[in-house]
Amino acid sequence: MATYSITLGYDGAPFCGFARQPGQLTVQGELERALELLFRHPVDTVCAGRTDAGVHARAQVVSFELQPEELRDRTPESLVRSLNALTHDSIAVRQWQQRPDGFSARFDANWREYRYFICGGATPPLFRAATSWHVKAPLDVAAMERAAAYLTGEHDFKSFCLAASAEGKPTCRNVRSITFSRDVALGEGALVITVAGNAFLHSMVRTIVGTLVMVGRHQRKPEWVSEVLEARNRAAAGENAPAQGLVFWNVDYGA
Protein backbone atom coordinates (compact mmCIF):
# COMPACT_ATOMS: atom_id res chain seq x y z
CA MET A 1 0.00 0.00 0.00
CA ALA A 2 1.11 3.57 -0.70
CA THR A 3 0.10 6.63 1.31
CA TYR A 4 -1.50 9.72 -0.21
CA SER A 5 -3.02 12.93 1.06
CA ILE A 6 -5.37 15.60 -0.17
CA THR A 7 -5.50 19.23 0.94
CA LEU A 8 -8.96 20.76 0.94
CA GLY A 9 -11.02 23.65 2.13
CA TYR A 10 -14.69 23.68 3.07
CA ASP A 11 -17.52 25.91 4.17
CA GLY A 12 -18.61 24.23 7.38
CA ALA A 13 -22.18 25.55 7.38
CA PRO A 14 -23.89 22.55 5.69
CA PHE A 15 -21.95 19.90 7.60
CA CYS A 16 -22.40 18.23 11.00
CA GLY A 17 -18.64 18.51 11.49
CA PHE A 18 -15.74 16.75 9.81
CA ALA A 19 -16.06 13.26 11.32
CA ARG A 20 -18.36 10.74 9.66
CA GLN A 21 -21.70 10.17 11.43
CA PRO A 22 -24.39 7.74 10.31
CA GLY A 23 -27.22 9.50 8.53
CA GLN A 24 -25.54 12.94 8.73
CA LEU A 25 -23.83 15.10 6.12
CA THR A 26 -20.15 15.33 7.10
CA VAL A 27 -16.95 16.29 5.32
CA GLN A 28 -15.31 12.91 5.96
CA GLY A 29 -18.43 11.10 4.81
CA GLU A 30 -18.43 13.06 1.54
CA LEU A 31 -14.73 12.44 0.92
CA GLU A 32 -14.92 8.73 1.64
CA ARG A 33 -18.00 8.38 -0.56
CA ALA A 34 -16.17 10.09 -3.43
CA LEU A 35 -13.02 7.98 -2.95
CA GLU A 36 -15.12 4.81 -2.93
CA LEU A 37 -16.76 5.83 -6.19
CA LEU A 38 -13.36 6.52 -7.76
CA PHE A 39 -11.59 3.36 -6.60
CA ARG A 40 -14.54 0.99 -6.23
CA HIS A 41 -13.84 0.03 -2.61
CA PRO A 42 -14.02 1.71 0.82
CA VAL A 43 -11.13 4.05 1.63
CA ASP A 44 -10.58 5.03 5.27
CA THR A 45 -9.26 8.54 5.87
CA VAL A 46 -7.49 10.39 8.70
CA CYS A 47 -7.59 14.20 9.02
CA ALA A 48 -5.11 16.66 10.52
CA GLY A 49 -7.73 18.14 12.84
CA ARG A 50 -11.41 17.39 13.32
CA THR A 51 -13.72 20.38 13.09
CA ASP A 52 -17.12 20.77 14.74
CA ALA A 53 -20.41 21.49 13.00
CA GLY A 54 -20.30 24.86 11.30
CA VAL A 55 -16.51 25.31 11.53
CA HIS A 56 -14.71 26.02 8.25
CA ALA A 57 -11.34 24.93 6.87
CA ARG A 58 -8.90 26.59 4.50
CA ALA A 59 -6.19 23.90 4.34
CA GLN A 60 -7.34 20.69 5.99
CA VAL A 61 -5.12 17.67 5.22
CA VAL A 62 -6.52 14.15 4.91
CA SER A 63 -4.40 11.00 4.45
CA PHE A 64 -5.29 7.48 3.25
CA GLU A 65 -3.75 4.39 1.65
CA LEU A 66 -4.24 2.88 -1.82
CA GLN A 67 -2.55 0.28 -3.98
CA PRO A 68 -0.17 2.17 -6.32
CA GLU A 69 -1.57 0.36 -9.38
CA GLU A 70 -4.96 1.91 -8.64
CA LEU A 71 -3.52 5.26 -9.71
CA ARG A 72 -2.21 4.03 -13.06
CA ASP A 73 -3.01 6.57 -15.81
CA ARG A 74 -4.35 9.04 -13.21
CA THR A 75 -2.56 12.33 -12.58
CA PRO A 76 -2.85 14.39 -9.37
CA GLU A 77 -4.65 17.04 -11.41
CA SER A 78 -7.22 14.58 -12.75
CA LEU A 79 -7.81 13.14 -9.29
CA VAL A 80 -8.44 16.64 -7.88
CA ARG A 81 -10.92 17.32 -10.68
CA SER A 82 -12.72 14.04 -10.03
CA LEU A 83 -12.99 14.59 -6.30
CA ASN A 84 -14.35 18.10 -6.79
CA ALA A 85 -16.95 16.73 -9.21
CA LEU A 86 -18.02 14.01 -6.77
CA THR A 87 -18.12 15.89 -3.45
CA HIS A 88 -20.48 18.50 -2.01
CA ASP A 89 -20.29 21.98 -3.54
CA SER A 90 -19.11 23.34 -0.17
CA ILE A 91 -15.89 21.28 -0.42
CA ALA A 92 -12.92 22.38 -2.55
CA VAL A 93 -10.14 19.80 -3.00
CA ARG A 94 -6.96 21.70 -3.91
CA GLN A 95 -4.10 19.22 -3.95
CA TRP A 96 -3.30 15.49 -4.19
CA GLN A 97 0.12 14.30 -2.96
CA GLN A 98 1.95 11.02 -2.50
CA ARG A 99 3.41 10.82 1.01
CA PRO A 100 6.05 8.62 2.67
CA ASP A 101 4.68 5.20 3.55
CA GLY A 102 2.83 5.30 6.85
CA PHE A 103 2.35 9.07 6.83
CA SER A 104 -0.55 10.21 9.04
CA ALA A 105 -2.22 13.58 8.56
CA ARG A 106 -2.97 13.57 12.28
CA PHE A 107 0.04 12.05 14.01
CA ASP A 108 2.78 13.53 11.79
CA ALA A 109 1.58 17.12 12.23
CA ASN A 110 3.97 19.37 14.17
CA TRP A 111 1.45 22.12 14.80
CA ARG A 112 -1.93 23.38 13.67
CA GLU A 113 -3.18 26.92 13.18
CA TYR A 114 -6.73 28.21 13.61
CA ARG A 115 -7.99 31.72 12.91
CA TYR A 116 -11.08 33.26 14.46
CA PHE A 117 -12.77 36.30 12.87
CA ILE A 118 -14.70 38.88 14.90
CA CYS A 119 -16.58 41.76 13.26
CA GLY A 120 -17.37 44.72 15.50
CA GLY A 121 -19.67 47.71 15.42
CA ALA A 122 -23.37 48.36 15.74
CA THR A 123 -24.13 47.17 12.20
CA PRO A 124 -23.78 43.44 11.50
CA PRO A 125 -21.44 42.47 8.65
CA LEU A 126 -23.06 41.66 5.33
CA PHE A 127 -20.43 39.81 3.31
CA ARG A 128 -18.65 38.24 6.31
CA ALA A 129 -21.77 37.22 8.23
CA ALA A 130 -21.28 33.50 7.53
CA THR A 131 -17.62 33.49 8.56
CA SER A 132 -17.43 35.75 11.60
CA TRP A 133 -18.87 36.53 15.04
CA HIS A 134 -20.54 39.92 15.28
CA VAL A 135 -19.62 41.50 18.63
CA LYS A 136 -21.28 44.91 19.04
CA ALA A 137 -19.38 46.11 22.09
CA PRO A 138 -15.92 47.62 21.52
CA LEU A 139 -13.13 45.22 22.45
CA ASP A 140 -10.00 46.17 24.39
CA VAL A 141 -7.49 44.23 22.30
CA ALA A 142 -4.56 45.19 24.54
CA ALA A 143 -6.32 43.57 27.50
CA MET A 144 -7.06 40.50 25.39
CA GLU A 145 -3.38 40.26 24.47
CA ARG A 146 -2.39 40.38 28.15
CA ALA A 147 -4.93 37.66 28.91
CA ALA A 148 -3.75 35.50 26.02
CA ALA A 149 -0.21 35.52 27.41
CA TYR A 150 -1.39 33.27 30.26
CA LEU A 151 -2.42 30.62 27.71
CA THR A 152 0.79 30.29 25.73
CA GLY A 153 3.10 27.39 26.51
CA GLU A 154 2.21 23.95 27.85
CA HIS A 155 -0.78 23.85 30.20
CA ASP A 156 -3.67 21.67 31.27
CA PHE A 157 -6.53 23.07 29.17
CA LYS A 158 -9.32 21.08 30.80
CA SER A 159 -11.21 24.34 31.50
CA PHE A 160 -11.19 25.05 27.77
CA CYS A 161 -12.68 21.88 26.41
CA LEU A 162 -16.11 20.28 26.20
CA ALA A 163 -16.49 18.66 29.63
CA ALA A 164 -17.83 15.31 28.40
CA SER A 165 -14.96 14.84 25.95
CA ALA A 166 -12.33 15.42 28.68
CA GLU A 167 -13.37 12.57 30.95
CA GLY A 168 -10.53 10.08 31.39
CA LYS A 169 -8.37 11.70 28.69
CA PRO A 170 -5.18 13.77 28.87
CA THR A 171 -5.92 17.51 28.54
CA CYS A 172 -2.43 19.02 28.44
CA ARG A 173 -1.62 20.88 25.22
CA ASN A 174 1.08 23.26 24.04
CA VAL A 175 -0.15 26.57 22.63
CA ARG A 176 2.67 27.99 20.60
CA SER A 177 1.20 31.46 20.08
CA ILE A 178 -1.97 33.57 20.20
CA THR A 179 -1.76 36.69 18.06
CA PHE A 180 -4.14 39.50 17.08
CA SER A 181 -4.35 41.27 13.74
CA ARG A 182 -6.77 43.19 11.54
CA ASP A 183 -8.19 42.03 8.24
CA VAL A 184 -10.40 43.70 5.63
CA ALA A 185 -12.43 41.81 3.01
CA LEU A 186 -15.01 43.40 0.69
CA GLY A 187 -14.78 46.57 2.72
CA GLU A 188 -15.62 44.89 6.03
CA GLY A 189 -13.02 44.78 8.78
CA ALA A 190 -12.45 42.02 11.31
CA LEU A 191 -10.30 41.31 14.33
CA VAL A 192 -8.42 38.07 13.65
CA ILE A 193 -7.30 35.89 16.56
CA THR A 194 -4.72 33.34 15.39
CA VAL A 195 -4.09 30.37 17.68
CA ALA A 196 -1.29 27.91 16.88
CA GLY A 197 -0.43 24.79 18.86
CA ASN A 198 0.63 21.19 18.73
CA ALA A 199 -2.95 19.90 19.09
CA PHE A 200 -6.33 21.05 20.36
CA LEU A 201 -9.11 19.68 22.53
CA HIS A 202 -12.78 19.60 21.56
CA SER A 203 -14.01 23.24 21.29
CA MET A 204 -10.75 24.50 22.79
CA VAL A 205 -10.16 27.39 20.36
CA ARG A 206 -13.77 28.57 20.52
CA THR A 207 -13.64 28.55 24.34
CA ILE A 208 -10.34 30.45 24.31
CA VAL A 209 -11.90 33.09 22.03
CA GLY A 210 -15.08 33.34 24.12
CA THR A 211 -12.98 33.78 27.26
CA LEU A 212 -10.76 36.43 25.69
CA VAL A 213 -13.82 38.34 24.45
CA MET A 214 -15.08 38.57 28.04
CA VAL A 215 -11.78 40.25 28.91
CA GLY A 216 -12.03 42.48 25.84
CA ARG A 217 -15.50 43.60 26.97
CA HIS A 218 -14.08 44.42 30.45
CA GLN A 219 -16.31 41.80 32.01
CA ARG A 220 -13.18 40.20 33.49
CA LYS A 221 -9.59 41.27 34.11
CA PRO A 222 -6.75 39.67 32.11
CA GLU A 223 -5.44 37.92 35.25
CA TRP A 224 -8.71 35.98 35.50
CA VAL A 225 -7.55 33.75 32.64
CA SER A 226 -4.84 32.33 34.89
CA GLU A 227 -7.53 31.40 37.42
CA VAL A 228 -9.56 29.72 34.67
CA LEU A 229 -6.58 27.54 33.74
CA GLU A 230 -5.98 26.54 37.34
CA ALA A 231 -9.65 25.64 37.88
CA ARG A 232 -9.51 22.76 35.36
CA ASN A 233 -13.28 23.11 35.11
CA ARG A 234 -15.17 24.06 31.94
CA ALA A 235 -17.67 26.09 33.98
CA ALA A 236 -14.88 28.50 34.97
CA ALA A 237 -14.24 29.71 31.40
CA GLY A 238 -16.23 31.95 29.06
CA GLU A 239 -18.82 30.94 26.49
CA ASN A 240 -18.02 29.03 23.32
CA ALA A 241 -17.58 31.53 20.52
CA PRO A 242 -19.95 30.73 17.60
CA ALA A 243 -18.73 28.06 15.20
CA GLN A 244 -19.03 30.12 12.02
CA GLY A 245 -16.18 32.47 12.99
CA LEU A 246 -13.58 29.69 13.22
CA VAL A 247 -11.37 28.49 10.35
CA PHE A 248 -8.89 25.61 10.43
CA TRP A 249 -6.21 27.60 8.67
CA ASN A 250 -3.05 25.55 8.30
CA VAL A 251 -1.12 22.49 9.43
CA ASP A 252 2.67 22.07 9.40
CA TYR A 253 4.63 18.87 8.73
CA GLY A 254 8.11 20.41 8.53
CA ALA A 255 11.11 19.22 10.45
3-state secondary structure the chain: CEEEEEEEEECCCCCCCCCCCCCCCCHHHHHHHHHHHHHCCCCCCEECCCCCCCCEEEEEEEEEEECHHHHCCCCHHHHHHHHHHHCCCCEEEEEEEEECCCCCCCCCCCEEEEEEEEEECCCCCCCCHHHCEEECCCCCHHHHHHHHHHHCEEEECHHHCCHHHHCCCCCEEEEEEEEEEEEEECCEEEEEEEEEECCCCCCHHHHHHHHHHHHHCCCCCCCHHHHHHHHCCHHHCCCCCCHHHEEEEEEECCC
Q: How many CB atoms lie within 10 A of CB 116?
A: 26
Q: Is 114 annotated as a binding residue?
A: yes
52 belongs to the catalytic site: yes
Catalytic position from the list 44, 52, 89, 183: 52
Q: Is the dihedral of CA 182, 184, 187, 190 positive or negative?
A: negative
Q: Which residues are annotated as a binding site?
A: 114
Q: Annotated active-site positions, please?
A: 52
Q: Which residues are annotated as a binding site for substrate?
A: 114
